[in-house]
Amino acid sequence: MSVEPTTRAAAAAGTVDLGDLTVNRLGFGAMRITGKGVWGEPSDREEAKRVLRRAVELGVNLIDTANSYGPEVSENLIAETLHPYPEGLVVATKGGLTRPGPGEWRRDARPEALREALEGSLRRLRVDRIDVYQLHSVDATVPLEESLGALAELQGEGKIRHIGLSNVDPRQLAQARAVVDVVSVQNRYNLGDRHSESVIEASEREGIAFLPWFPLNVGALATAGGKLAEVAASHRATQAQVALAWLLRRSPAIAPIPGTSSVEHLEENVGAAALELTDAEFADLSHSAGAGL
């Protein structure tokens, strides 16, 4: 059994600001509406489109994607399904990673490459300006200031509304904030992997939204009869819902973006917005995750 979502259910988790944009704290990551290995078309294109439509029906108003998802497939599907976009829907995308082939991810954050990536995303998403454009990864061969300088130029041209970052450490976040206004950071973070704690703390302190990717990984906590299973059973919820509820409780800056290619799993994920952990449950899960139990 799981906590069932109702219409506009995503709003139950509250909101977070992305600059002058306000979104519900439970968003949707559109990486999984592509083929196996995030490559090519999805196995069930119509189901992927149903997922996108259902997400909006449930009150999700932040959809996160990237030009490298497919590549290009995710952005094309979002536009095909949802354009013209409902009022208040924020579609965030990313540039800076390329896909030479299935299973391959290559950094390319040269200014000219980012401009080309941004222009492609504008065409595919059928918009004149990207609400939130994120540097997908820092490129060790390109000074971060140069990559962000290119995004600042594109922002000045009216093609980017707000700038975000992905896969950065606290030093890189501080370095970036000296060049541009940063509204969001997207790092891997979940109940089983908490290496970005210091980035969350910096984000909360600076009023920056933190969008954890891979939010449903629970690591060793997924054992039968363990603390996670115990908490899930007490709420008549799934372990995935508890993992999302833990993220929402962890910091008001956190806005999880779980992804799926299934309407059933989407509804399960969004149902987590209404799940409230007790202080003891949150503390026990935090301790268990920290101890690797």
| Predicted TM-score (pTM) of this structure | 0.95
In the chain, what is the straight-line distance between the N-terminal and C-terminal CA atoms, in Å? 24
Q: Would you write out the chain's pLDDT as a tens digit for each of its 293 residues?
A: 566 676 688 999 999 999 999 999 999 999 999 999 999 999 999 999 999 999 999 999 999 999 999 999 999 999 999 999 999 999 999 999 999 999 999 999 999 999 999 999 999 999 999 999 999 999 999 999 999 999 999 999 999 999 999 999 999 999 999 999 999 999 999 999 999 999 999 999 999 999 999 999 887 787 777 899 999 999 999 999 999 999 999 999 999 999 999 999 999 999 999 999 999 999 999 988 655 44
CATH code for position 183: 3.20.20.100
Instruction: Please report the pLDDT score of residue 219 as a whole number.
Output: 78
Boundaries of domain holding 177 = 9-218+251-261
> CA nearest 144: which of 117, 118, 107, 119?
107
**Residue of 69, 85, 133, 189 with catalytic role:** 69
3-state secondary structure 61-94: CEEECCCCCECCHHHHHHHHHHCCCCCCCEEEEE
Q: Which amino acid is at 72?
A: E
Instruction: Please report the pLDDT score of residue 6 as a whole number.
Output: 65
Does 81 fall in a domain?
Answer: yes
Does 227 fall in a domain?
Answer: no
Does 290 fall in a domain?
Answer: no
Largest CA distance in the chain: 55
User: Burial letters for 215-230: b for 16+ Cβ neighbours within 10 Å, e otherwise?
Assistant: bbbbbebeeeebbbbe
Instruction: Please report the pLDDT score of residue 2 as a whole number.
Output: 66
For tokens 């541009």, name the residue. Answer: 180
Instruction: Please report the pLDDT score of residue 7 as a whole number.
Output: 66
Does 288 fall in a domain?
Answer: no
Does 269 fall in a domain?
Answer: no
Secondary structure letter of residue 270 according to DSSP: H
Does 283 fall in a domain?
Answer: no
- CA–CA distance, 61 with 25 (Å, rounded to integer): 9
Does 86 fall in a domain?
Answer: yes
Work out how many domains the chain is built from and give that number.
1
> Has 69 been annotated as catalytic?
yes
Start-end of H helices in the chain: 45-57, 73-82, 111-125, 144-156, 170-177, 197-206, 227-234, 239-250, 263-271, 279-290
Does 120 fall in a domain?
Answer: yes
